[in-house]
Amino acid sequence: MPVGREVWMRAEWADDRLRVEVLDANRDLPVPRDAAPDDEAGRGLAIVAALATDWGAYPRGCGIGKVVWFELQAETLGGPTVW
């Protein structure tokens, strides 16, 4: 894999939340936008924002790249946990 193209993903379950983090070497923080119907990209953050309880991004502490994260909140409806 070329240098700078490596991507890592981490998922953590804590209490009633699932937190997912995606780490990459690109320093550019994501910016939500409205994609036109014929755009081939630009819908990812809109989907995350619609489904996630919360989300964000920050530069990695090592100075290389960024972390984009989102959290999903589990809901209990008088029985097993559902999403």
Domain boundaries, the chain: 7-82
Check residue 74 and give its pLDDT: 83
Stated as kind and residue range, the H or E segment containing 67 is strand 66-73
Q: What is the pLDDT of residue 78?
A: 56
Q: State residue 32's pLDDT score.
A: 87
Per-residue pLDDT of the chain (83 residues; tens, 9 = 90+): 455 678 999 999 988 899 999 999 999 999 888 899 999 988 999 999 999 999 999 999 888 899 999 999 987 545 566 55
CA distance 11 to 21: 6
Q: pTM above the 0.85 mark?
A: no
CB-based burial, 40-49: b 16+ in 10 Å, e otherwise: eeeeebeebe
